[in-house]
Structures are given as C-alpha cells and as structure tokens.
C-alpha cells in the first residue's frame, strides 16, 4: 500500500471520538481503494454499534456546554475552521481525488464549496432570532425562543465526501448542536481530514465525532434508536432514507433527508443553445454523472432535436477520461466496478428498446470503474434511464412536441429534487417553473447549488433544506415562554 499523501498530517485511518483518534474495538480495518487504479490507499478502522454508542455518549457530555457558548464564540471557531480548509484545499483535494476519483480541479472546487457552508453558517449562527407575540390578555407576555435540537446523527455519501459533511456539520454546530457522523465507507479519508482541521481550529473534543465502518446497518441503527440522538440528517438513496425514517419513528426524531433524484432538463425550440449546451454538459457530466441533481433525463423539442444532439456530441467527444491526478483529465472513474456495471445495464436496456448510441455507450479501456461519456438518442419513457437514477455519464435524449406534454413527462416520477429548462419565452418561464414538481428549478441555468440557496426536494426526494437561512431551521427547536401575572402591583 502506497499513497502520495501517506506522510500528510491529514491522512488518518482511525475513527475520531471525543477528540481522540481510535481504532475499532475489534482491531479490524477495511480497505479504501482508488477507483482509478484499484490500489488500496488506506486501511481504516472498521467500527460498529459499540463505538457509535460511545461517540453518542461523548457528544452528550459536551452538548450542554457547546449550546451554552455565546453564538459569537461558536461561530468564531467555525470561521477559523473555514479558513483552515481554504488554506489546505489543494492537499484536501488530492486526498479526495485519490479516494473518490474526480479530477483534481473538481476536487479542490468541492473542498472550497463545502467550506462555503461553514463560512455561511458561521455568519448565520449569530442571527437566530426569536419573537414576542402579542398576548390575548394584558397580564401575559408570549416569548418565542430558538434552542438547539440536541445531538445530531449525520450520514453522508461518497460522491461529495467533503461538501456533504460540511453542509451538515456547519448549521448543526452554528446552532449549538453536536454531531456523531458516519462518512461513506468508500470515502472516509476526506471526512477524517476535515476533523483534523476542526480540532486545530478549536472545535472542542466531543463536538464532532466520526465513526468509520463497513457495517452501515449497525451504525445507523444505533444512531436512529439511541434516545440521546435527537435528529438524523442523511444524504443518500431514497430506499435507505425510508428505512432510516422508519427507524427514527420509535423515538420521534427530527429528520432531514436529501434523497434520490431524477432531474429533467427541458430544452424548448426557442432556447439559446449557446447556453443550453454548456448547461447540459455541466449538469449531466459533472463528477462523471454521479450527482443527485444531474440531468438524468434530457427532453428536447422536435424543432431543435437533431441540432442539439450534434452540438452536444461535438463537446462530449472533447472529454478526456482517466486518473484525476493526471493533467488534462476532465472525467474520472465511477466509484466502483459494480457502479460501472449498473450503468452498462441501463444503457443495454435502452438499446434493446430501440435507442441508438450517438457517442460512447460502453465501459472504457481505462479500467473496470470507467465508463465512456455517452449520449443516447431516441430514448422513450419505458426505458430504465427514464425511471431510474443513472448515476453515470450517460445522457438519454427524449423528444417532445409541446409544453403540456413535456411537463407531464418531467413530473412522471416519484422523485422531485431538481429540474432545469431552457427557453427565451418569459411567460413560459413562469408557467413551467410553477408546474414542475421539484424543490429546485433552474431556468436557463444548471449551476443552481450554493451555500445561499435552500437545497432540497419534494415527494420521495426528501424533506428539509440545506444551506441558506432556511438551513438553520432543521437544527433548532421553537420554544414558547408564556409569562403571566404581570398585572400585579
């Protein structure tokens, strides 16, 4: 086992509980593999329910003290953490590329993106306001205050291993909550590196705890069943999200769920293709298609269908796939060989039902985890690429005739996370935006995500919002204080 960052202070292979770097009770480890090369880059502590319970106890021991700190004190520490991440973003990006596969520029960009949430909530945490409600009687006053919900259990995915953790830790800590987090087993190193910097920035022991392990059901069950944990926040599949919500019902925990997506991108005849084509490229192929808000289904109106495909093909064939650390590489591998096989099966299903490959369409010679950037034309709703989240660099292009038809097609899914459309018609902008059943809609834009917007979905894509001022709400309880007897002298 050899890795380029093995001498880095950020390279940790133990869990982080109560400010200590600890092995699994069993002494067992699991391998973390570079998907571009197949090389084992780390052997990380394989923890389970017992270690999770201790992490929860460590969090409980400091919850009251952390919550009692002045908001400015908590937020000043977050500011220091934010700056430390920015100062080390290149090295953090290298770690991410090696464990997750995305090109180095994209990885460094993700580190900065995740840090932006820490900066935002470091500022927003000082603006948690209450209210005074006019009382129905003269001898009473009704005061409303906001208090931290308590210990938060956070479960994060492998596709954005730094940003998804920061997006949960930042509002929780700013609100006065402490966290026990489980990073994805495929990509734990980015999370552990963030903990190193959090400690250096003055975040006290026990405020952030990271439990690493392959036994997700055991760790998750402890988080959902333990009554000391008052909230679960999860980013991942709808199937797992539903299971976690069921488990949380026993103790009536608060939940925030950012789940699966099946994002439509609609291109009307009057769209400006000079912006629609770059938008499609960014939305579909970012992170090799492994994003929950990528354009899973691309609907193009009859009048520009062929032109759109030809122009998209011309740009896609400029991509360079390979090891994300190599110069000039634009797209890395999928996270595992199983993921590549899953994408291949969806493409094969489409071809069997009459679709045609415009470019790509197969696994790449670069390695077992690589899949060629692909465009499929003549896609129809009976195909798996219409119903299922592809999570790979495959763009299925569907033809449509009119606005009513395409809105119905776009909404024909149990998911409702993000949607995009391109048009120059102002009336259509409003009609379609309001008709689409999605939590986020991009009009002539696909780069919609930032720390200032409320990120989240409708229907089976989840509940709650991350980012923006709304992102604090999920970590706060609203309490009424009714003061009576005020007419006495």
Q: What is the pLDDT of residues 89-123, one digit of tens each?
A: 999 999 999 999 999 999 999 999 999 999 999 99
Task: Count Cβ atoms below 10 Å from residue 483 Cβ, excluding itself.
Answer: 11
* Residue 239 buriedness (CB in 10 A; 0-12 / 13-18 / 19+): exposed
Task: Give the pLDDT confidence of 379-436 residue by residue, as tens digits.
Answer: 999 999 999 999 999 999 999 999 999 999 999 999 999 999 999 999 999 999 999 9
Percent of the chain with pLDDT over 70: 99
Q: What is the pTM of this model?
A: 0.95
36-46: average pLDDT: 97
Widest Cα–Cα separation across the chain: 86
Answer yes or no: is pLDDT of 226 > 90.
yes
Structure tokens at 162: 């730094």
pLDDT digits (tens, 9 = 90+) for 131-161: 999 999 999 999 999 999 999 999 999 999 9
Confidence of residue 1 (pLDDT cuts 50, 70, 90): very low
| Contact (CB, 8 A) for 135 and 144 | no
If 0-12 CB within 10 Å is exposed, 13-18 middle and 19+ buried, where does residue 253 land? buried
Mean pLDDT value across residues 460-485? 96
Active site residue 292: yes
Residue 4: pLDDT band (50, 70, 90) is low
Tens of pLDDT, residue by residue over 184-215, are 999 999 999 999 999 999 999 999 999 999 99
- The residue extents of the domains of the chain are 15-260+462-478, 263-414+418-454
Structural class in CATH, domain 15-260+462-478: alpha beta
Closest by Cα among 393, 386, 237 to 312: 393
Exposure string of 445-479, with b = 16+ CB inside 10 Å and e = fewer, is ebebbebeeebbbebbbbbbbbbbeebbbbbbeee
Mean pLDDT across the chain, nearest whole number? 97
Contact 176, 70 (CB under 8 A): no
Task: Indicate the class that CATH gives domain 263-414+418-454.
Answer: alpha beta
> Is residue 65 among the annotated active site residues?
no
| Active-site residue (options: 258, 451, 460, 466) | 258
Q: For residue 268, give every residue at least 6 positions away whose Cβ sits within 8 Å of its Cβ, in sequence order, or none.
A: 301, 403, 421, 422, 423, 425, 428
pLDDT at 5 over 80: no
Q: How far is CA 415 from CA 282, 290, 386, 483, in A?
A: 21, 16, 12, 45
Q: Which of 292, 369, 389, 466 is catalytic?
A: 292
Percent of the chain with pLDDT over 90: 98
**Average pLDDT over every residue of 70-80:** 97
Find the mean pLDDT for residues 271-298. Answer: 97
Mean pLDDT of 34-38: 97
CA distance 337 to 340: 5
């Amino acid at each position: 086992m050899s890795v380029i960052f093995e001498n880095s202070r950020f390279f940790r292979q133990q869990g982080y509980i109560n400010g200590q770097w600890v092995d699994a009770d069993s002494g067992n480890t699991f391998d973390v593999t570079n998907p571009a090369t197949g090389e084992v880059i780390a052997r990380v502590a394989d923890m389970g329910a017992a270690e999770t319970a201790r992490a929860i106890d460590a969090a409980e021991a400091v919850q009251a003290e952390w919550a009692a700190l002045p908001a400015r004190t908590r937020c000043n520490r977050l500011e220091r953490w934010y700056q430390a991440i920015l100062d080390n973003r290149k090295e953090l990006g290298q770690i991410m590329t090696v464990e997750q596969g995305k090109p180095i520029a994209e990885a460094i960009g993700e580190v900065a993106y995740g840090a932006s949430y820490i900066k935002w909530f470091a500022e927003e945490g000082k603006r948690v306001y209450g209210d005074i409600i006019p009382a129905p009687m003269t001898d009473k006053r009704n005061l409303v205050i906001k208090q931290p919900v308590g210990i938060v259990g956070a479960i994060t995915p492998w596709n954005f291993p730094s940003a998804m953790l920061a997006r949960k830790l930042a509002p929780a800590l700013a609100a006065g909550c402490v966290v026990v987090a489980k990073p994805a087993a495929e990509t734990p190193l980015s999370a552990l590196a963030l903990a190193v910097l959090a400690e250096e920035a003055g975040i006290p022991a026990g405020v952030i705890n990271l439990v690493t392990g392959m036994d997700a059901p055991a760790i998750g069950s402890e988080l959902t069943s333990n009554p000391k944990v008052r909230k679960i926040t999860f980013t991942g599949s709808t199937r797992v999200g539903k299971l976690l919500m069921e488990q949380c019902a026993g103790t009536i925990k608060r939940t925030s769920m950012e789940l699966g997506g099946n994002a439509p991108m609609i291109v009307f005849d009057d769209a400006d293709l000079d912006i629609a084509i770059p938008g499609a490229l960014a939305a579909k192929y970012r992170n090799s298609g492994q994003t929950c808000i990528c354009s899973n289904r691309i609907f193009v109106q009859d009048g520009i269908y062929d032109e759109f495909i030809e122009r998209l093909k011309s740009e896609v064939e400029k991509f360079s796939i390979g090891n994300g650390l190599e110069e000039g590489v634009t797209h890395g591998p999928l996270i595992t060989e199983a993921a590549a096989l899953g994408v291949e099966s969806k493409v094969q299903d489409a071809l069997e039902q009459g679709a045609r490959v415009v470019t790509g369409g197969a696994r790449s010679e670069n390695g077992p985890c690589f899949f060629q950037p692909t465009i499929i034309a003549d896609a129809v709703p009976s195909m798996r690429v219409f119903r299922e989240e592809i999570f790979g660099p495959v763009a299925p292009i569907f033809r449509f005739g009119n606005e009513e038809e395409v809105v119905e097609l776009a909404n024909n899914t149990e998911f409702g996370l993000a949607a995009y459309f391109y048009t120059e018609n102002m009336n259509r902008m409003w009609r379609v935006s309001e008709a689409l059943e999605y939590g986020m809609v991009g009009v002539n834009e696909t780069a919609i995500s930032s720390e200032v917007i409320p990120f989240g979905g409708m229907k089976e894509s989840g509940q709650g919002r991350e980012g923006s001022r709304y992102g604090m709400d999920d970590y706060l309880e609203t309490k009424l204080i009714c003061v009576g007897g005020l007419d006495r002298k």
